[in-house]
Structure 1
């Protein structure tokens, strides 16, 4: 098509219509629109799949970190020193309140 445009001059009205897409046959125009729409759909689909995978991975890492922190906290709180410290704090609070 470029060869045809260059052969007929870039300043002619027909060349201008070709560049702007007005001289394209209706069947070809519909085909081009379908190709463009398919490309847009694929781009949106690829974008949503990429985001879904990322959020799933982020949730998995967050869940593992939360479980590890809960296990560490349980180990600390269930130790004898911390139990005694917590029971002393509660006893002092009850003495002050009543």
Structure 2
């Protein structure tokens, strides 16, 4: 602490800046430690917490949505206009390839 005191026992500008920077550094290190502790606690909590039933409900909703989309797609593709358009497209592609 002697290096911070000026010639006449007073604080100099440089010594005050050094002291304040050390205070700020100490506060930053303290916040970093708190952040690490809280994130590790959250990670531990997330690993140990059971989510039984959540995946089942999510799979059920996803399956219902996929079935609804498949039914809608089947209805669109099986319509006569779309069927004719797809057969024309395939026949044109086969003519170009062969």
What TM-score, normalized to structure 1? 0.48
What TM-score, normalized to structure 2? 0.48
Higher helix share: 1
Higher relative CO (Cα under 8 Å, sequence separation at least 6) belongs to: 2
